[in-house]
Amino acid sequence: MTTPRVENEAFEALLHEQRRFSPSEAFVQQANATAELYAEANADPEAWWAEEARRLTWSTPFTKVLEWDAPFARWFSDGTLNASVNCLDRHVEDGRGEKVALHWVGEPEGDRLAITYSEMLAKVSKAANALTSLGVQAGDRVAIYMPMIPEAMVAMLACARIGAPHSVIFGGFSAEALADRILDADCRVVITADGGFRRGVAAGLKVQIDDALKLCPDVDRVLVVRRTGQDVTWVEGRDRWWHEVVDPQPSVHEAQAFPAEHPLYIMYTSGTTAKPKGIFHTTGGYLTHTATTHRYVFDVKPETDIFWTAADIGWVTGHSYIVYGPMTNGVTQVMYEGTPDAGGQDRWWRIIEEYGVTILYCAPTAIRTFMKWGDHLPASHDLTSLRLLGSVGEPINPGAWMWYRTHIGGDRCPIVDTWWQTETGGIMITPLPGVTATKPGAGMVPFPGISADVVDNDGASVSNGQGGLLVITRPWPGMLRGIWGDEERYRETYWSRFDGVYFAGDGAKRDEDGDLWLLGRVDDVMNVSGHRLSTAEVEHAIVGHPAVAEAAVVGASDEMTGQAIVAFVTLKAANQVASGGEAALIEEIRNHIAQVISPIAKPRQIILTPDLPKTRSGKIMRRLLRDVAEHRALGDVTTLTDPAVVKMIDELMASHGEEE
């Protein structure tokens, strides 16, 4: 494991500059959160979380709060509830059925829908009835592979309604990655679409499912939403159109309550090995965590806010802050199908203007892209409806933070930089608008009721001004309940580094005021444009190419994407290419990776090299390769079997320059 280091010199500069923004008077007056919240929550976190949990609709109220048998937590375990009822029925029953739940914006211009809470409930009820008619029962896992269309949310909430944990797989993943995930959770039913629109093109999804299912013989039902109208191949008896199965169903569905610890979903995420981990979440604690953080961090006022999380439902950000948190709080949302440049590089700003979006939540990579596209684009739209901005998924560099504040937030909107993970279920470290001062690039403080620390390699808290490893020192309601089917890996990955505390895999720094700065991963996990990828997974894909002998992959800092993938590849003797033939082979390897994992896993650079630097025990020296990839002066190479190898790679890098 590498020691955490500050990724960006600008961070250091800012740490010294200590620019801070105090909460504005306007926000202090009306914010959902108050300064007392911290004191109250931290004096008795369990009691505080229990109070928040009671805002949910329970069929059987809980009497137990936390049962902690480290590293296994149970929250509110004797209570029963239904997640879908919390997201839908209770709003309708309270007379808010006519309120718009979703303003959906498709990628093709003019393709839009407004769906009320009553309509959403009817759709989800039909889908729940349909799943039941297909034989899906509580506890069965259902895979969902969808574009950003309302049916994606409908499918998730229908699964939740009948107690069938969903496993949503991001639409960017390819057939092999899909198959791995479907097999790991033993899903028998898949919900997908013919395809989705991306950059004006009708990309295929069903075609990937068809390929994946060649490896998954136990899947016997595939429900297909018609989105693009493209041709699809059909397996009789297995494949059914969504509209033929779902539409004729009754639009009422009596939901059954499930125990708070009933599994709600599985979400696969990359770890340090080639095999992705099925992170699973349960119902009561997760809903409490997502709804509570959504209420305070985004200061939502369901009567007036138009909330927009510009993320894909296929990642945890979409699960927690498009589906479960916002829907539990009964807010009106915008959901957008396409890429930020579809129909012009000002697409987002047009959407904000048209719908009067008040809260925007997105990733730093998007912000950096908008910076590159130019200030004039947001400037030509009326963005004054915005009152709060959020950032998530990767460290935000102070430059991007300031641009976001000035050019999108009009110097008026607080920015909440929210640190969390698939595993944490919801936001863990963040400022609270109206309460916490903010600093460009800093996550600031743990959310009320969350206990975090920065520790050194021995687990001792570091003092102010020091860096170290981020740990969470008490169980929290939204925490993962395990890795699907692999208890040992769960203990090993998160709970073995330090006794009894959760190790997140991130480096952090505590500044002179004691505020937290999140610095990114310290393990072999990369973060590319806010997407989490494992070096081992990409290496595994590369060595699957017939010409390749060995591969070493590192995440190198990248101005635009945070980190970028750089791969060092050696070829099998018979495949050495004459200079000139290299470019074609490199392109082939890149496409191979896209096919095996996803286009998002394509390296920025692939360096063909005759050899890889290894220690005497044969371990590839990744840290050193990372230095090479980032053009840093090479450190100590004395443990290398052959220091000349590194020098040679360094020269190769220099002669190749940067691709793309």
Quick check: 502 and 495 in contact, CB under 8 A?
yes
In angstroms, give the least distance from the CB of 144 to ligand WT7: 18
DSSP SS3 for 554? strand
Q: Which is nearer to ligand WT7, 306 or 504 (CB)?
A: 504
In angstroms, give the least distance from the CB of 207 to ligand WT7: 26
Residues 236-295 that bind ligand WT7 (CB under 6 A): 269
Quick check: 73 and 475 in contact, CB under 8 A?
yes
Nearest to 417 by CA among 2, 143, 74, 14: 14
In angstroms, give the least distance from the CB of 269 to ligand WT7: 5
- Count of chain residues binding ligand WT7 (CB under 6 A): 22
In angstroms, give the least distance from the CB of 8 to ligand WT7: 11
Q: Which is nearer to ligand WT7, 242 or 498 (CB)?
A: 498
Candidate list 77, 317, 563, 609; residue touching ligand WT7; CB under 6 A: 317
d(CA 144, CA 155): 8
In angstroms, give the least distance from the CB of 110 to ligand WT7: 31
Helix (H) or strand (E) holding 528: strand 525-528
Candidate list 474, 521, 592, 604; residue touching ligand WT7; CB under 6 A: 521
Strand pairing category for 263-269 and 277-282: antiparallel
DSSP SS3 for 74? strand
The answer to whether residue 316 forms part of the interface with ligand WT7 (CB under 6 A) is: yes
Angle in degrees, CA 398, 629, 339, rounded to 5 = 55
- A 10 A CB-CB count for 114 gives 12
Quick check: 509 and 466 in contact, CB under 8 A?
yes
Interaction pattern, residues 572-611, with ligand WT7; x per rule: CB under 6 A: ----------------------------------------
The answer to whether residue 520 forms part of the interface with ligand WT7 (CB under 6 A) is: yes
In angstroms, give the least distance from the CB of 518 to ligand WT7: 4
Q: How far is CA 622 from CA 457, 527, 552, 641, 659, in A?
A: 20, 16, 7, 14, 21
Nearest to 160 by CA among 267, 84, 80: 84
d(CA 630, CA 389): 31
In angstroms, give the least distance from the CB of 447 to ligand WT7: 12
Q: Which is nearer to ligand WT7, 353 or 417 (CB)?
A: 417
Q: Which is nearer to ligand WT7, 259 or 431 (CB)?
A: 431
d(CA 602, CA 92): 45
Which range of residues in 20-28, 238-246, 503-511, 642-650 is near ligand WT7 by CB under 6 A?
503-511
Which range of residues in 30-38, 117-125, 257-265, 504-512 is near ligand WT7 by CB under 6 A?
504-512
The answer to whether residue 537 forms part of the interface with ligand WT7 (CB under 6 A) is: no
The answer to whether residue 422 forms part of the interface with ligand WT7 (CB under 6 A) is: yes
Strand pairing category for 548-558 and 72-75: unpaired
Q: Which is nearer to ligand WT7, 443 or 482 (CB)?
A: 443
d(CA 105, CA 506): 35
Candidate list 192, 527, 561, 609; residue touching ligand WT7; CB under 6 A: 527
Which range of residues in 49-57, 128-136, 498-506, 616-624 is near ligand WT7 by CB under 6 A?
498-506
Quick check: 445 and 515 in contact, CB under 8 A?
yes
Phi, psi of 113 (to 5 degrees): -145, 145
Q: Which is nearer to ligand WT7, 282 or 365 (CB)?
A: 365
Candidate list 505, 555, 603, 613; residue touching ligand WT7; CB under 6 A: 505
The answer to whether residue 532 forms part of the interface with ligand WT7 (CB under 6 A) is: yes
In angstroms, give the least distance from the CB of 104 to ligand WT7: 22
Q: Which is nearer to ligand WT7, 297 or 327 (CB)?
A: 297
Which range of residues in 11-19, 258-266, 411-419, 603-611 is near ligand WT7 by CB under 6 A?
411-419
- DSSP E strand stretches across 175-262: 189-193, 195-198, 201-204, 221-225, 239-241, 258-259
DSSP SS3 for 102? strand
Under DSSP, the state recorded for 114 is E
Q: Which two tokens stand for residue 533?
A: 């990828």
Exposure b/e, 213-245, CB count within 10 A at least 16 = b: beebeebebbbbbbbbeeebeeeeeebbebeeb
Candidate list 299, 506, 523, 524; residue touching ligand WT7; CB under 6 A: 506
Q: Which is nearer to ligand WT7, 501 or 608 (CB)?
A: 501
Q: How far is CA 290 from CA 49, 114, 318, 447, in A?
A: 12, 24, 11, 12
Interaction pattern, residues 359-398, with ligand WT7; x per rule: CB under 6 A: ---------------------------------xxxx---
In angstroms, give the least distance from the CB of 420 to ligand WT7: 4
The answer to whether residue 443 forms part of the interface with ligand WT7 (CB under 6 A) is: yes
d(CA 320, CA 289): 9
Candidate list 155, 416, 518, 538; residue touching ligand WT7; CB under 6 A: 518
Candidate list 268, 419, 498, 502; residue touching ligand WT7; CB under 6 A: 419
Which residues sit at the interface with ligand WT7, rule CB under 6 A? 269, 316-317, 392-395, 417-422, 443, 504-506, 518, 520-521, 527, 532
